[in-house]
A and B are shown apart, each in its own frame.
Chain A
């Protein structure tokens, strides 16, 4: 059974660095073809893809945020991480992590999602 759960600081101030953790079970990020992505959603708005990390440590970032994003993983502890530097109020959103689909190899959709973690940036 695949599950994912996000955790984060809840609230932080402008200019700080947001650190998010995705703890998952039911799959391993050391397995060929596996990947995890981060997606966010401001309240009442649509989904925005942020970044993906793959089993081979390949990483992809949303170009509009690339300079501020860092994605990483800890395969031993089944975790993926996302850092966003220099946050401002526009980064207030629910942040989701999701597994990238797998069928004996990578399939580029999100088949399992976490419940999301709400992050508020406020002074």
Chain B
């Protein structure tokens, strides 16, 4: 199994700050990483596909980067609606895996 390690587990920020969330893979996975946002009591929502490709309808303040084993989800100027949990998912293997998540909380 490909293991995804997300850090930090929790990130406390104030609105207006810019943040970076990390996802590290246990082996090289090219750009086969996707990011999701999950708000409390809601289903996950796709934010970024294939490491850096944008998704229609997702605000432009969300961006992704990385390749190989190290990936980053960046949020430029966090807004109040962004406080939620973020997960990465790999599809390099047909046996998908998710990271444990990073909780973005209000400082």
Chain A interface (Cβ < 8 Å from any Cβ of B): 37, 39, 46-49, 52, 60-64, 96, 101, 107-111, 113-116
Given A107-B49, A109-B89, A111-B46, are A46 and B95 also a contact pair (CB < 8 Å)? no
Size of the B side of the interface (Cβ < 8 Å), in residues, is: 23
Note all chain B residues with C-beta closer than 8 A to A62. Answer: 95
Note all chain B residues with C-beta closer than 8 A to A96. Answer: 43-44
B38 to chain A, nearest CB (A): 8
Q: A47-B87, A108-B34 are in contact. List 5 more A-B contacts (CB 8 A).
A: A47-B101, A52-B94, A62-B95, A107-B50, A108-B32
On whether the beta carbons of B89 and A110 are closer than 8 Å, the reply is yes
For this complex, 30 residue pairs linking A to B, each with C-beta atoms less than 8 Å apart, are A37-B96, A46-B100, A47-B36, A47-B38, A47-B87, A47-B89, A47-B98, A47-B101, A48-B98, A49-B97, A49-B98, A52-B96, A60-B94, A60-B96, A63-B1, A63-B95, A64-B1, A96-B44, A107-B49, A108-B91, A109-B34, A109-B49, A109-B50, A109-B91, A110-B34, A110-B89, A111-B46, A113-B43, A113-B44, A113-B45
B interface secondary structure, majority: loop
Given A60-B95, A62-B95, are A115 and B49 also a contact pair (CB < 8 Å)? no
- Complex Cα distance, B96 from A37, in Å, reads 10
Note all chain A residues with C-beta closer than 8 A to B101. Answer: 46-47
B41 to chain A, nearest CB (A): 9
On whether the beta carbons of B87 and A116 are closer than 8 Å, the reply is no
On whether the beta carbons of A49 and B96 are closer than 8 Å, the reply is yes
- Complex Cα distance, B31 from A108, in Å, reads 11
Note all chain B residues with C-beta closer than 8 A to A52. Answer: 94, 96
